Copies of this chain bind each other. A is one copy, B any other.
Amino acid sequence: MKKYKRNQRIGALMKIFAEKPNYVFSYNYFSEIFNAAKSTISEDVSIVRELVSELNYGRIETISGAAGGAVFIPVMNMDEKNKILMELCQLFSHKNRILPGGFIYLTDIFNNPGIVTNIASVISSEFSDTKIDCIITVETKGIPVAILTGQKLNVPVAVIRRNNKVTEGATVSINYVSGSSNNIQTMSLSRRSLKENSRVLIIDDFMKGGGTCKGMADMMREFNAEVVGTAVVIETKVPEKKLVDNYLSLLVMDGINDKEGLIEIKPNNKLLK
């Protein structure tokens, strides 16, 4: 069987950790892959732990004992977070995004895996110390953010639908009032998609009045789930009072100046403290 050099094992370990953050790998698993003794693997993991810390990538936690293993918990440093948020502001504020009626075209951004991976990295960093069982979102534009945050946090996602589908099995449906337009809308979630008593993180792309996030929180009560966090990519500054409390937004939109074609958007200061 093949043997590998130390720096090959270090590189491979870092690849494995980076591709599956927040996943606990056993030392046995690494021993088999690298055809190396557990003591060797243990030294390798120490080196990786040091490099992750020195390069500000987050932290490696080790679990000792017979079922011992190691997990990579990425946590973004302030400089990187700041850089990503400023890049997002630039992207979102471009004047040719303004559509008739004061709407903003954001679909390309929310469907760009590279950009959304950055968004997901910021959100997952903020919740890296929170125990989360499942991420909840509502179709359609929030799905990529939810999926890529789920990838970073190593948790499944449940997608609330706007209408019932035969392929969802038994569903729970609720009506909710859209915060901004006062319309009554319906959302449905498959019974099978969320275990009772889960700790959930609610994710959405955009928050104006907060009605959709409140609707999702109400839905969670039907599943006896506990909402341990709510994250949105953009919130509007107005109305200042939303229908939900304790949410995290990445960016705050001051307003659209339709005449001059300006979108005023800036990072949420709370994230940069």
Binding site for B on A (CB under 8 A): 2, 4, 6-8, 10-15, 17-20, 23, 47-48, 50-51, 54-55, 57, 99, 101, 103-108, 111-114, 116-117, 139-141, 143-144, 147-148, 150-151, 154-159, 161, 166-169, 190, 192-193
Contacts and interface: CB of A to CB of B under 8 A. Distances in A.
Copies in the complex: 2
Contacts of A105: 167-169, 190, 192
A84 B143 CA distance: 24
Contact of A12 (B19, B55, B99): B55
Contacts of A140: 139-140, 143, 159, 161
B12 A15 contact: no
Interface SS of chain A: helix
A114 B151 CA distance: 6
Given A11-B47, A139-B139, 4 more contacts: A12-B51, A105-B192, A113-B156, A140-B140
B193 A108 contact: yes
A18 B11 CA distance: 10
A178 to B, nearest CB: 14
Contacts of A150: 112-113
A111 B147 contact: yes
20 contacts: A4-B55, A6-B7, A10-B14, A11-B11, A11-B48, A14-B15, A15-B17, A19-B117, A23-B114, A103-B167, A107-B159, A107-B167, A108-B192, A111-B157, A111-B158, A111-B159, A112-B157, A113-B156, A114-B156, A140-B143
